[in-house]
């Protein structure tokens, strides 16, 4: 009898670039968390939403004797403990949002806690659905040593019919949920491969 394949536990830190309560991008992350709990194919994928709103603006004067403000220390620890990152962000002026860039910069301060983690990007907005922000984030990730999945890409025009979100910003469109599911499956598989390769190199 063939032994069942045991998938390693994958801890995902989910970050939203929008601070708005009813953010569509935050709605995408809520949907991702629900899918990870409901779908058997995502068993072992543990997604935790990490709030970036408490982070102060980056100011190296706040670094004292190698330590960071308490909110920054807590955030950096969450990123350090994660195996993977799930970014969800709208597009502001062809780029990532200021809150997300601020969070990225704090976690990149020495020692860079983004390094060698897998990542995926999802976005919702008008027009291109946040695509240009995604491409800019990928550029930033090169310097951070983040390893992004390449496919499937996920850009959602949130204003096209049929309605994608309800009035509270919750994802309600079945087709979009299926696309989100495919992103999570790809992230899960890619992160698992990276973990296995890392364990082989250590052994």
- Quick one: tokens of 43? 């068993």
Angle between helices 98-108 and 70-81 (to 10 degrees): 80
Determine contact, residues 157/127, Cβ cutoff 8 Å: yes
pLDDT tens for each residue of 156-200:
999 989 999 999 999 999 999 999 999 999 999 999 999 877 766
Determine contact, residues 11/83, Cβ cutoff 8 Å: yes
Burial (CB count within 10 angstroms: exposed 0-12, middle 13-18, buried 19+), residue 38: exposed
Phi, psi angle pair for 67, to nearest 5°: -115, 160
Q: How far apart are CA 186 and CA 58, in angstroms?
A: 33
Q: How far apart are CA 118 and CA 164, in angstroms?
A: 27
Determine contact, residues 121/187, Cβ cutoff 8 Å: no
- State the pLDDT at residue 1: 46
Phi, psi angle pair for 64, to nearest 5°: -125, 120
Residue 47 in this model has a pLDDT that exceeds 80: yes
Q: How far apart are CA 184 and CA 151, in angstroms?
A: 11
pLDDT tens for each residue of 122-155:
999 988 889 999 999 999 999 999 999 999 999 9
* Mean per-residue pLDDT, 85-104: 96
Question: Which of 40-54, 66-80, 123-137 shows the lowest per-residue confidence on average (mean pLDDT)?
Answer: 123-137
Q: What is the pTM of this model?
A: 0.93
- State the pLDDT at residue 202: 60
CATH top-level class for 10-202? alpha beta
Q: Where are the domains of the chain?
A: 10-202
Percent of the chain beyond pLDDT 90? 87
Percent of the chain beyond pLDDT 70? 93
- State the pLDDT at residue 36: 97
* Mean per-residue pLDDT, 86-105: 96
Which residues, including other chains, have CB under 8 Å from residue 14's CB and lie 6 or more apart?
A: 29, 32, 33, 47, 48, 49, 50, 85, 86, 88
């Amino acid at each position: 009898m063939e032994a069942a394949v045991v998938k390693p536990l994958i801890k995902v830190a989910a970050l939203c670039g929008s601070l708005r309560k009813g953010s569509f991008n935050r709605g995408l992350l809520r949907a991702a968390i629900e899918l990870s709990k409901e779908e058997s194919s995502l068993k072992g994928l543990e997604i935790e939403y990490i709030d970036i709103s408490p982070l102060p603006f980056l100011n190296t004067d706040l670094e004292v004797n190698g330590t960071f403000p308490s909110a920054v220390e807590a955030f950096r620890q969450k990123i350090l403990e994660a195996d993977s990152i799930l970014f969800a962000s709208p597009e502001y002026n062809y780029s990532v949002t200021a809150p997300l860039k601020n969070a990225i910069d704090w976690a990149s301060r020495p020692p860079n806690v983004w390094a060698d983690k897998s990542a995926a990007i999802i976005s919702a907005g008008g027009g291109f659905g946040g695509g240009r922000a995604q491409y800019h984030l990928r550029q930033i990730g090169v310097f951070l040593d983040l390893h992004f999945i390449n496919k499937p890409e996920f850009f959602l025009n949130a204003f096209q019919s049929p309605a994608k979100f309800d009035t509270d910003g919750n994802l309600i469109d079945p087709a979009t949920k299926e696309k989100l599911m495919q992103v999570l499956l790809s992230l899960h598989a890619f992160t698992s491969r990276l973990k296995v390769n890392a364990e082989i190199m250590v052994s």
